[in-house]
């Protein structure tokens, strides 16, 4: 690792150059140095010394600023809702509803069985009478 840079590929015949990877500390140091640069040409000198393009540094700056904005964003107020706990509660409520429907269906089946038995008994009695 040189200057916080990792994995620069070697250019050669038929070889593909790999992109360089920069550590977070290196990026922070370069951005701070560029932000502090005030003299004309100082930024360009830093970029040339480090072998960086302005577009790369701009991308770093955009990501840093987005992370800062995200960190400052106000979160939702109130208690934090655990998704698994909420899903568990919803499933338990649904289970209770289905169990209630099952009990009703079982009661109806039992009542139908009793009604069928009663009608059968009445039918036998009417057959005996005639």
- Asked if 46 and 89 sit in the same domain, the reply is no
Query: Does residue 68 belong to any structural domain of this protein?
Result: yes
Whether residue 120 sits in one domain with residue 89: yes
Please name the residues in contact with 31: beta carbons below 8 A apart, sequence gap of 6 or more: 57, 60, 61, 64
At residue 68, does pLDDT exceed 70?
Answer: yes
Pairing relation of β-strands 21-22 and 5-6?
A: antiparallel
User: Which of 8-12, 90-94, 113-117 bottoms out in mean pLDDT, i.e. has the lowest?
Assistant: 8-12
Q: Are residues 14 and 61 in the same domain?
A: yes
Same domain? For 64 and 93 the reply is no
For residue 10, the model assigns a pLDDT of 47
For the chain, the domain total comes to 2
| 63 and 10 assigned to the same domain | yes
Instruction: Match 């099952």 to its residue by tokens.
Output: 102
Please give the residue range of the domain that contains residue 65. 5-72
Q: What is the pLDDT of residues 26-61, one digit of tens each?
A: 999 999 999 999 898 999 999 999 999 999 999 999
Task: Tell whether 78 is covered by a domain.
Answer: no
């Amino acid at each position: 690792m040189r200057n916080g840079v990792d994995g620069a590929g070697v250019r050669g015949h038929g070889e593909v150059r790999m992109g360089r990877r920069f550590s977070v500390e290196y990026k922070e140091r370069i951005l701070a140095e560029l932000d502090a640069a005030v003299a004309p040409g100082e930024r360009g000198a830093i970029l040339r010394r480090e072998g960086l393009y302005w577009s790369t540094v701009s991308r770093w700056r955009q990501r840093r600023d987005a992370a800062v904005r995200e960190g400052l964003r106000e979160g939702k107020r109130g208690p934090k809702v655990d998704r698994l706990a909420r899903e568990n509660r919803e499933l338990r409520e649904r289970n209770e509803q289905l169990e209630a429907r099952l009990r009703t269906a079982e009661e109806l089946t039992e009542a139908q069985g009793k009604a069928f038995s009663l009608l059968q008994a009445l039918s036998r009695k009417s057959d005996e009478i005639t």
